[in-house]
Structure 1
Amino acid sequence: MIAWLLVCVLSGWCRPTLADAEVGETGASDTPTAVAASVRVESLRAETSALLESALIASGVEDAQHRAACLTQFARIAASLKSQRGDTVRSPEEVAADVHRHLHATLLTGQYVAECSEVERVFDEGVYNCVSATVVFHALCTELDLHRVAVARRTHVFSRLPESDLDVETTCAEWFDVPVAERPHVEADEREISDRALIGKIYFNRGVALLEQRDFAAAIELIRTSLLWDAHDPSARENLLAGLNNWALAECDARQFASAARLIDEGLAIDATYQPLLANDLHVRQRWVVDLCDHGRFAAARDVLQAGFRRRPDAELFDNGRLAVYRLWAKWLIHRGQLREGFAVFDEARRIVGERPDVEACESVTLREAARELQEAGRHQEASQVVAWSHRAPQNDSSGSVRRLAPRGT
């Protein structure tokens, strides 16, 4: 009888997408210029310190001394570039090229690693991806009064000089050696983002990495944090929904159905049209109801389906599933010898579902099956009572509602 509840539901697992795409590994060249060890963090501008400090915190660096060491290292690099330039007046494009080459000579000395958004790894290991490279590029541009803006594509981030529309691929060491005609062109999905939104990308990429590891709670927290920094990030929003969906499926597989349902509801509150969540809204509650019925908790199963019906009256599972539960419930009670309670189940069904032909048909089929099974089990008197009850005609009470009377003695 549980098979009545086994409707076909797609339970799609959503794969999270990374917010960084591989551009190609870039090697290191030259060696860092030596600078006096007396250069201190205080020499950095407040905007630079705030950007780097926020980026390091977003990267998960909780140790204040570690963050201070990274800032001191950056201050030395900034001082080195300033001393090289002197008072020479240069165009914004030339300054950008100076900053870019200096970074690849002093900080971005390792390999490009697509998953490496953590900014401290730039300082500690020289490895980077488009997000971390763009953060340090922007910080050094700020030190040299160069206006720049980050540009985000669906899986990539780079920098742009807005006054000249010069794009800078911060991960490519040879970028300024590439002829302009051979550089990538503007794409439809790109958007300019603030430094604040750029910090959000760090939280986001860390969250995506944890989604891949199925550490859902920590991943969702990080992705939610990323949306606090950039509420308009479509990738973060999509991965938040995918993460809630996949977390719900994991909870469902662990038979934590109430938790799974809460996660589905949380996702649908964000986007009521997200198809994987809509499908798994049915999948999770289907399995939950089957489990409740298996354990004789029919009232709870009814409540799950009734709540779903109020939200989605067009969903067959929530509508017809209620009759399936009432059918199982009535037979369960009758087989336990609780005939009066079993007969009353369909009175409730009429109150909850309504005076519908399918309710009457379900009651008729259920009682015939129950009577036959009782007869086969040698419980002839009870079988006769069920048959007698199934042949009774509804009697209208004074209020016009249908009332059925259970046989006496049961």
Structure 2
Amino acid sequence: MKRRTTWHAAWRSCAHTAAPLLLLVSCMTTFLPAASGEPLEALLRADLLDGRLDDLTLLEAALIAGGIDDTRALNHHVEAFARVEAALRRELPDTASPQERAEIVFRFLHTNVLTGPYARDCMQVERSLRGEEYNCVTATILYQSLAAAADLPTIAVSTPGHVFCRIPGDRDIETTCPDWFDRTESVSPLSSRARRDLNAAQLLAKVYYNRSVLLLGRGKFSPATRYLSLSISLDPHDADALENQCAAYNNWALECAAAGQYAKACSLLEQGRRINPYYEHFARNERHIRLLWTQAEGASAPGP
């Protein structure tokens, strides 16, 4: 069977065809009640029904999307970040221009928060907030959160496999690059390839997307497709997530077929076809799996 093994790398996995998997990709302090009676992820999804955050901050939402479902743990991180915000405000001159604020926030972030190494497969803002690893998604979320505390408007921007920030004056900021403001190229726009501005919901979709990529790499298809569905619900135009969702159902079906679970394999391909009936690998792999199924049933049938 062609098996493609590349997931679009943080944002892309093929001799029957497994499909490529892509990889990765206002800070008022609020506190949730210690016992809300409702899972935090349900609260997040309810808050995002209109496509924007009304009750949760971006930081709170990102922590929940990254897997925190305990209010005490969430409030612990929110309190810690509030102290970081307070320290930043003390360093901000009242007369600082937006460009100056952008640089102060950036340097403060990399000196006081993003003190660990860059790691493409970092999936949780919580880890970055603790001074562990970070990637473009977590760094952008934390930069935007700190910028809000500094009254600096920002916009998250995506290109294939990457996200970064833009500030007033249309200046791009590579949030993963600690010496960005020391580079001459920092005054030039970053890649113009398929740039998209992201709202909060679409940026949070990247958190779910990256969690799915990690699970796909481990062959955990069921939870991975759930996170991909969440990602797509928040950003229906994310081509990487849409392709990975099809690739996940395709490769999951091939794994089931290899284990002799032909009915389940065909069911998974049908689920994938409902997402994208034109995905090239579904039809040929279904024919191949049904042929294997017929051969297996023939082999197990009693002789005359």
Fold match (TM-score > 0.5): yes
Gaps of 5+ in 2: 1-14, 32-52
Within-5 A mapping of 1:185-224: 185-224=190-229
In structure 2, distance between residues paired with 1:252 and 1:217: 16
**Aligned partners of 1:207 and 1:222 also within 8 Å:** yes
Q: Would the alpha carbon gap of residues 232 and 91 (structure 1) be closer, same or farther in structure 2, given more than 3 Å must change? A: same
Q: Which residue of 1 aligns with 2:143?
A: 137
The structure whose RCO (Cα within 8 Å, separation 6+) is larger is 2
2:85 pairs with 1:82: no
In structure 2, distance between residues paired with 1:185 and 1:136: 20
Return the match for 2:278 from 273, 277, 280: 273
Return the match for 1:68 from 75, 89, 100: 75
2:169 pairs with 1:168: no
2:32 pairs with 1:57: no
In structure 1, distance between residues paired with 2:286 and 2:152: 50
In structure 2, distance between residues paired with 1:66 and 1:114: 25
Shift of 1:183: 4.8
Q: Would the alpha carbon gap of residues 177 and 160 (structure 1) be closer, same or farther in structure 2, given more than 3 Å must change? A: same
Return the match for 1:264 from 263, 269, 291: 269
2:120 pairs with 1:114: yes
Q: Would the alpha carbon gap of residues 160 and 172 (structure 1) be closer, same or farther in structure 2, given more than 3 Å must change? A: same
Calculate the TM-score normalised by the size of structure 1: 0.62
Gaps of 5+ in 1: 1-9, 21-39, 297-331, 337-410
In structure 2, distance between residues paired with 1:181 and 1:195: 24
Within-5 A mapping of 1:11-410: 11-20=16-25, 41-42=29-30, 49-86=56-93, 88-161=94-167, 163-180=168-185, 183=188, 185-296=190-301, 336=304
Calculate the TM-score normalised by the size of structure 2: 0.82
Residue type at the aligned position of 1:267: G
In structure 1, the residue corresponding to 2:79 is in which secondary structure?
helix
**Aligned partners of 1:154 and 1:189 also within 8 Å:** yes
Residue type at the aligned position of 1:84: E
Q: What value does the CA root-mean-square deviation take over the aligned residues? A: 2.1
Residue type at the aligned position of 2:293: W
- Once the two structures are superposed, residues 347-400 of structure 1 have per-residue CA deviations (whole angstroms, 9 ceiling, x without a partner) of xxxxxxxxxxxxxxxxxxxxxxxxxxxxxxxxxxxxxxxxxxxxxxxxxxxxxx
Shift of 1:42: 4.2
Identity %: 34
Q: Which residue of 1 aligns with 2:44?
A: none
Deviates further, 266-275 or 130-139 = 266-275
Q: Would the alpha carbon gap of residues 213 and 42 (structure 1) be closer, same or farther in structure 2, given more than 3 Å must change? A: closer
Residue type at the aligned position of 1:295: S
**Aligned partners of 1:19 and 1:154 also within 8 Å:** no
**Aligned partners of 2:172 and 2:187 also within 8 Å:** no
In structure 2, distance between residues paired with 1:209 and 1:181: 31
Higher percent of residues as helix: 1
Residue type at the aligned position of 1:62: D
**Aligned partners of 2:171 and 2:187 also within 8 Å:** no
Work out the number of aligned pairs and report it: 267
**Aligned partners of 2:92 and 2:101 also within 8 Å:** no
Shift of 1:117: 2.4
In structure 2, the residue corresponding to 1:188 is in which secondary structure?
coil
Residue type at the aligned position of 2:147: C
Shift of 1:180: 3.6
